[in-house]
Amino acid sequence: MDELTLLVVEGPEENAAAETHELTRALAECGNRPVLSSGPEVLAGAHDALEPDLLLLHASLTAKEVALFGQKWQHLRTPPGVLLFCGPDHIPLDAHLDHEMDFLVPPFTPTLVRNRLERGHQRRRLARTAAELDPYPSLSLLQHDRDLKIGRQIQQGFLPPELPCPDGWEVATGFEPAREVSGDFYDGFSMAGGRRAAFLVADVCDKGIGAALFMALVRTLLRFSAQNLWAGGALAPFLLPTQQVFLSSPSIGALPLLSTVHGANRYLTANHLQQAYFVTLFFCVTDPDSGRLLYINAGHNPPVLLRASGGHRLLRTTGPAVGLWPDAVFTIASVTLGPADTLFLYTDGVTEARNAERELFGLPRLVRLLSGMSGAGAGDMVGRTLAEVQAHTGRAPQSDDITMLALRRRR
């Protein structure tokens, strides 16, 4: 990729300067020399003579400011593309997601930053080409809407019509996409001749059609790998790192689970790193008879394990998101669900749901809500949680996909 003319605009928040510095350092490592500025400087005309290829705007800027910055260079034959960026707290992005903006989030590794810049630059060129070639933009919008609806139908076909439900267990799901297509997904399938059941919930880092396509790829890759490792009896040791740590003693299901996640990570980083997508996921294999559950939490929100006694435990991460680093290490951990215990899985569309005052639903609120339902069935728990999230947001637009999956051991 040729060197691009980049204008980086930091936001008004206190931590915006540090996040901007981290990004500009990665931009320099990619061979670029970005121009740094603040919002007031841009609006005052300090860079009107600049012809940027891309505007990198901190997500704490308002939607109105983002629109004004974009308009300042609309007179150019090829106006600049726009990329939003922020730090590890993705909350500032919420106000911009309805506008289908592309964005950069940590980790700001040179490879991911370079690929995101290339994608933004490509979208800029495609937008110019489309504007030059299409004399009937309204027809294009109709075609786009139709394609989105078809994409929604195809994506729904990737979600299982039903999940395995072993004797003595309850399984329930909730799925509310924020748009026509979603980057979230859930899955469940039987393994080892019905002696094990696998469940997973995952969230692709991006939004829109690209995230939905990546979701379909990851879901297919994980299910195919897991089921074929079991059916073939081979554990594909070449997929594993040379040294692997187990937080629990290895047992039936451990190596196929580990091989599946490692294999997916190696495939994605070898073949799709240029798309700069990654996915967080919680993937578990259950032994219905004993209640033992082996899991890998790859950078995902911590599921809530609710004990019949009234206590709870959060199942923290045991590895990074899938698709970030080829040599990533994923560790298996285990818990045991006793009678009347429930494991509640979810994506960040639940905890990061905001009301009109921009107040988060939040993990503490979710834990309190679930703790008050420790004796409820899996379906009731999912339904009541969704109702509470929707009551919290009120008329505020849903900014992210909501996915939930509850596993309850009845006896």
* pLDDT in the model for residue 238: 36
Tell me how far apart the alpha carbons of residues 112 and 85 are, in angstroms, rounded to a whole number.
13
Query: The pTM is what?
Result: 0.68
Of 4, 99, 95, nearest to 56 by C-alpha is 4
Strands 54-58 and 6-10: parallel
For 125-134, which contacts have Cβ atoms below 8 Å and span 24 or more sequence positions?
125/78, 127/81, 128/77, 128/78, 128/79
* pLDDT in the model for residue 389: 95
Residue 342 · residue 374 · CB < 8 Å: yes
Separation in Å, CA 176 to CA 242, 259, 375: 40, 31, 25
Residue 202 — very low, low, confident or very high, per pLDDT cuts 50/70/90?
very high
What would the mean pLDDT of 368-378 be, rounded to a whole number?
91
pLDDT, one tens digit per residue, over 106-160 is 888 888 888 778 776 666 555 454 444 455 445 444 554 554 455 555 556 567 8
What would the mean pLDDT of 301-328 be, rounded to a whole number?
92
* pLDDT in the model for residue 142: 52
What would the mean pLDDT of 35-62 be, rounded to a whole number?
87
Of 27, 59, 109, 64, nearest to 320 by C-alpha is 109
* pLDDT in the model for residue 246: 44
Residue 161 has pLDDT above 90, yes or no: no
Q: Is 31 left (phi over 0), alpha (psi -120 to 50) or beta?
A: left
Residue 3 · residue 52 · CB < 8 Å: no
E strands, 156-246, are 169-176, 184-191, 196-204
Exposure string over 253-262, b if 16+ CB within 10 A, otherwise e = bbbbbbbbbb
What would the mean pLDDT of 256-269 be, rounded to a whole number?
89
DSSP 8-state code for residue 99: G
Residue 237 has pLDDT above 80, yes or no: no
Tell me how far apart the alpha carbons of residues 377 and 375 are, in angstroms, rounded to a whole number.
7
Of 15, 16, 98, nearest to 56 by C-alpha is 16
* pLDDT in the model for residue 251: 56
Residue 264 · residue 225 · CB < 8 Å: yes
**Average model confidence (pLDDT) for the chain?**
81
* pLDDT in the model for residue 17: 84
What would the mean pLDDT of 238-242 be, rounded to a whole number?
41
